[in-house]
Amino acid sequence: KAGVTQTPRYLIKTRGQQVTLSCSPISGHRSVSWYQQTPGQGLQFLFEYFSETQRNKGNFPGRFSGRQFSNSRSEMNVSTLELGDSALYLCASRYGTASYEQYFGPGTRLTVT
């Protein structure tokens, strides 16, 4: 089975721009979560989608949003980029809400200049 894929792998944007990141979960997995990882804060939960519905949201401003499509693929969007948004953005999938181990993608490295 193919693993979780994320595109693009690397991205450089300028302050004020917006960005969209994409995640394809493992086939059959219906839950997709997004995390932000920075050296100072570690891995922080952004949100989780299950069957196209947002189930949970972390403590991030409204500039961070996401969605999930009927094929379980997910996108996250960050608007009005700030320098502090530079991070590794990780997507993780799991089969369903009753399965607890998560399978992560390789991440998208976002640099905001």
Write out the residues near another protein by the rule CB under 8 A. 4, 33, 35, 42-45, 48, 55-56, 58, 88, 90, 92, 97, 100-107, 109
CB neighbours of residue 97 within 10 Å: 12
Q: Which is nearer to another protein, 5 or 20 (CB)?
A: 5
Q: Taken in order 51, 57, 58, 63, is the CA torsion positive or negative?
A: positive
By beta-carbon proximity to another protein, the closer residue of 97 and 111 is 97
- For residues 106 and 17, what is the distance between their CA atoms, to the nearest angstrom? 24
Report in angstroms how near the CB of residue 80 gets to another protein at its nearest. Answer: 25
Give least dist CB 15 to another protein, A: 24
Residue 52 CB contacts under 8 Å (≥ 6 apart), including other chains:
67, 68, 69, 70
Q: Compare residues 9 and 63 and give the one whose CB is closer to another protein.
A: 9
